[in-house]
A and B are shown apart, each in its own frame.
Chain A
Amino acid sequence: MRLKRPLIVLICVLLLLGLAFAAVAWQPVIAATEPPEKAAFDKALIANGAQLALIGNCNTCHTNPGSPPYAGGRPLPTPFGTIHSTNVTPDPDTGIGRWSEAAFLRSMHEGVSRDGRHLYPAFPFDHFTKLSTVDVRAIYAFLMTREPVHAQSPSNDLSFPFNVRPLIAVWKLLFFKPGQFQPDTAKDPEWNRGAYLVEGLAHCGACHTPRNALGAEKHNEFLAGGESEGWHAPALNAASPAPVAWTAEQLFTYLRHGFVKPHGVAAGPMQPTPDNLLDVAEQDVKAIAAYVGSILGPATAGRPERPDELITRRQNEHAAPVWEPSSTTGSGGSRPTSDASEIYAGACAQCHEPSGRSFSARGIHLAQSKTVAMPDPRNLIHIILEGIEPPAGAPAALMPGFGAAFTDEQLAALITFVRANFSDQPAWNGVQDQVRKVRHDKNGS
């Protein structure tokens, strides 16, 4: 008898909580519309939308390699399982052909699909919420005038409870604040344009900002370094691992062409960005470079602007061996006997040492490499295993992959050698395990 009242209270509380959750989680369906005529869209709006879609890298996530553009189906690995991108061609049945402009606007600003379902934040609506309505309309015009492709994207492969879509509403309550970009009146128009693009459309923070255990970006650590698809995305603030300071001009060249001396080549998940930005209006890329430059900060004593100082210092500290054809036979003579220095001499020095073979485009000196200085060895492991094919049109050499030539132990020894000889940073831990993991993930994917 005495249990009855607390039980009733408990049931009422649970009911109220359930109602509150439903109120938060439920979103109305926006009525389907007939796919609009392509001719109905203003040409200038479509052209603007095309530019914005390049800055936003929409094609990268929403295209499965080998499949038609924007037809979705690309698997995106996350810590919670694999999500597949959706078809955003104007196909009426499997794409967004029946989405009104209002439905598209809601998806970009609030992360809600036309049918009222919440979208996973792997779709970075937490960035796209900053877009102006005009820009979203332009992207809508662009997408609705693409070639419709009938392709149902595969269902996601997420573990419980992440596969319970309504729970995203809780995530949003905790971590998502919708709202358009507000310019900083104290800064110049170029900086504000850059801020608008970086914080919104280009969603740089989606990779370059660390995330918490529930996958939300840590806003007080903006651009402090994150990861994407098994690669480390380096810090773009004062914690940047680059041994040489970035100038705004270098950033512009890197973002546009995917390669700049002395910093090197864009690799891994970063590579689609310069591929797209090559076709974007110069002043927008300049604006992005100016804004990122302001976050990186100026050159310091520890991070000089002139790479030569760094190379000279390194060469005075460690004589890096270079194999030359005129070398005598016999086992190495007076050279250091560690396996790793011999690997470096025979495999790396030809391209990466100034005294190696000269040719028109070569590898950067490793003392300048941010990859060697990163807190995380994975990028270097990827690069040595797989090589780098430079971005389209970049004036950079191809780096061959060495996955076939080296075993895991040899690779680990080489990486440890390179880290010790070409950076001041502390040694990486568990390199051989990480090599094995990267190789396995690469083969398994």
Chain B
Amino acid sequence: MITLNVNGREHQVDAGRSTPLLYVLRDDLGLNGAKFGCGLGQCGACTVVVDDKPAFSCLAPIGVLQGRRIITLEGLGTIDNPGPLQRAFIDEQAAQCGYCIPGMIMRAHALLLAKASPSASEIRKHMKPNLCRCGTHMRILAAVRRAASATRSAAANTSGEGARR
């Protein structure tokens, strides 16, 4: 049995230590946000966040993940109460088939954890490992920019200094 910390909760998982996290998330924990796109770290549909950094869950054997903090799409918000990044994707209508989107959101989440105000080219460079076949790229980038600036103004408001650009 392996203990995994996913979205702040501990889970006991009965799977081989070499099993990649993606299959455990979907088959054992019922967390279907992360998607199987290639199983080879080539498409990013499986992207989750491990200790604040983006990782391909299709290539992360659970044996290495004990004691690590794993965040999936489900940890960012719910349908009724979406988190800021999910809110931004909804507002920008950044999805066609939607298959790449959970991976895109998790990759963006890791970026915004590291850097609150990324430039447009920094966003593009960071999002590179994630592929989209429907051509939704421009909306995805707009959603990430939108989330970044929403976080910025929220921070400015709470610090009491007003909107400072």
Answer yes or no: are A and B bound together in one complex: yes
Given A323-B16, A404-B55: A357 in contact with B40 (beta carbons within 8 A): yes
Rounded to whole angstroms, the CA-CA distance of A351 and B60 in the bound complex is 13
Q: Point out the residues of chain A lying under 8 angstroms from B64, CB to CB.
A: 339, 343, 347, 405-407, 410
Q: How far is the CB of B42 from chain A (nearest CB, A)?
A: 6
Interface size on A, residues (CB 8 A): 33
Is B19 in contact with chain A by the CB < 8 A criterion? yes
Closest to A327 in B: B16
Bound CA span A407–B54, Å: 14
Whether the pair A400, B19 counts as a contact (CB closer than 8 A) is no
Q: Hey, which chain A residues are within 8 Å of B132, CB to CB?
A: none
1-53 of chain B: CB within 8 A of chain A:
1, 14-20, 23, 38-42, 50-51, 53
User: Is the beta-carbon distance between B54 and A357 smaller than 8 angstroms?
Assistant: no
Listed residue (B20, B42, B64) with the most chain A CB atoms within 10 angstroms of its CB: B64
B61 lies within 8 A of chain A by Cβ: yes
In the complex, the answer to whether B16 meets A333 with C-beta atoms within 8 Å is: yes
Query: From B54, which residue of chain A is reached at the shortest CB distance?
Result: A404
Scan residues 361-417 of chain A and give those whose CB is less than 8 A from a CB of chain B: 397-400, 402-407, 410
Q: Which residues of B contact A154 (CB under 8 A)?
A: none
Candidates B18, B51, B53; contact of A343 at CB < 8 Å: B18
Residue in A331, A357, A399, A402 whose CB lies within 8 Å of B16: A331
Question: Closest CB of chain A to B107's CB: distance in Å?
Answer: 11
Give the interface centre of A328, A329, A357, A359 by most chain B CB atoms within 10 Å: A329
Q: Number of contacting residues on B, CB 8 A?
A: 28
Does B17 contact A332, Cβ atoms closer than 8 Å? yes
Check: A35 CB closer than 8 A to any chain B CB: no
Contacts of B83 in A (CB 8 A): none
What residues of chain B have their CB less than 8 Å away from a CB belonging to chain A? 1, 14-20, 23, 38-42, 50-51, 53-56, 59-65, 129
What is the CB-to-nearest-CB distance from B2 to chain A, in angstroms, rounded to a whole number? 8
Task: Tell whether A350 pairs with B39 under 8 Å between CB atoms, given A330-B16, A400-B59, A410-B64.
Answer: yes
| With known contacts A323-B19, A329-B14, A404-B54, A343–B61 Cβ distance under 8 A | yes
C-alpha spacing A400/B62, complex, angstroms? 17
30 A-B pairs with CB atoms under 8 Å apart are: A323-B16, A323-B20, A330-B15, A331-B16, A332-B18, A333-B16, A339-B17, A339-B63, A339-B64, A341-B18, A342-B16, A342-B18, A343-B63, A346-B20, A346-B62, A347-B59, A347-B60, A347-B61, A357-B40, A359-B42, A397-B42, A398-B42, A403-B53, A404-B54, A404-B55, A405-B56, A405-B59, A405-B64, A405-B65, A410-B64
List the 7 closest A-B pairs by CB distance, nearest first: A346-B61, A404-B53, A400-B41, A345-B18, A346-B18, A342-B18, A404-B55
State in angstroms the CA–CA spacing of A399 and B110 once bound together.
Answer: 20
CA distance A402 to B40 in the complex (A): 12
CA–CA, A332 and B19, complex, Å: 9
Collect the chain B residues with CB atoms within 8 Å of residue A328's CB: 16
Report the Cα distance A43→B59, complex, angstroms: 52
A339 — which chain B residues lie within 8 A by C-beta? 17, 63-64
**How far apart are the CA atoms of A100 and B14 in the complex, in Å?**
74
